[in-house]
């Protein structure tokens, strides 16, 4: 093969291929943030989330939850056995929380990292579960699922539906406190109290140091025997 023919092959085949590969690499580099965003949005819709090693699991079964709640009501059960409950692990949806009057409805997860809060309301894992007679600490973003919290009032009923029963909590107090206020909650109380909070105010864009705390006492639902 003479030198002139080699130059021709390089000019018409190898060099265009080389520059095409470089161009494709640049396009992928430039648009990778948009591709990641699109994938994240798709995962949020389907619930199939895997952000690095952080997976979200599904424990809550709405049909089972309705059946269990009906059974408890029909049999007038005041307590259920701990051995009959499948306890959630971190990043597991174990229920849903709602307040019909203000149109508040969100999946409820055990754990409260940023991945979870994109998908619903999260529970601080150092707090108790519904029915266990101790405080339950929940949080969510005020720009999405928790937006209706601004319309909640004393007397409204918050419901938590789980596979092992339906629990109702009546709001008795609302407070706006600094995010680091030590008086916001006490998780050592021997009383079942639902504490739900979100960033405040709702119409402020950017970093917020205040939180809207909603406190609700348990008014219906079984107790867990353990």
Looking at the predicted structure, is the pLDDT value of residue 23 above 80? no
What number of other Cβ atoms are within 10 A of residue 40's Cβ? 14
pLDDT for 207: 82
**Single pTM value for the model:** 0.76
pLDDT digits (tens, 9 = 90+) for 105-146: 999 999 999 999 999 999 999 999 999 999 999 999 999 999
Residues contacting 56, CB < 8 A, separation 6+? 47, 49, 91, 92, 93, 109, 115, 116, 119
- How far separated are the first and last CA of the chain, in Å rounded? 86
What percentage of the chain exceeds 90 in pLDDT?
72
pLDDT for 3: 46
pLDDT digits (tens, 9 = 90+) for 44-96: 332 333 333 468 999 999 999 999 999 999 999 999 999 999 999 999 999 99
Residues contacting 109, CB < 8 A, separation 6+? 56, 91, 92, 93, 94, 116, 119, 120, 121, 122, 123
2: pLDDT confidence band, cut at 50, 70 and 90?
low
pLDDT for 206: 73
pLDDT for 226: 84
CB 111 within 8 A of CB 125: yes
CB 109 within 8 A of CB 56: yes
């Amino acid at each position: 093969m003479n030198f002139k023919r080699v130059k021709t092959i390089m000019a018409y085949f190898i060099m265009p291929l080389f520059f095409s590969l470089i161009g494709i690499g640049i396009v992928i580099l430039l648009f990778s943030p948009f591709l990641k965003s699109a994938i994240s949005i798709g995962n949020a819709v389907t619930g199939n989330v895997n952000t690095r090693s952080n997976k979200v699991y599904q424990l809550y079964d709405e049909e089972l939850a309705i059946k269990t709640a009906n059974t408890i009501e029909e049999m007038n059960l005041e307590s259920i056995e701990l051995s009959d409950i499948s306890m959630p692990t971190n990043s597991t949806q174990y229920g849903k929380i709602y307040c019909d009057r203000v149109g508040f409805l969100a999946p409820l997860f055990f754990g409260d990292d940023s991945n979870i809060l994109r998908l619903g309301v999260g529970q601080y894992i150092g707090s108790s579960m519904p029915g266990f007679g101790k405080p339950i600490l929940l949080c969510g973003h005020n720009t999405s699922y928790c937006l209706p919290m601004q319309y909640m009032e004393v007397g409204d009923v918050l419901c938590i539906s789980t596979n092992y029963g339906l629990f109702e909590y009546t709001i008795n107090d609302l407070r706006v406190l600094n995010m680091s206020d030590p008086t916001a909650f006490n998780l050592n109380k021997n009383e079942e109290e639902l504490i739900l909070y979100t960033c405040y105010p709702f119409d402020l864009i950017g970093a917020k140091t205040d939180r809207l705390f909603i406190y609700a006492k348990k008014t219906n639902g079984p107790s867990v025997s353990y």
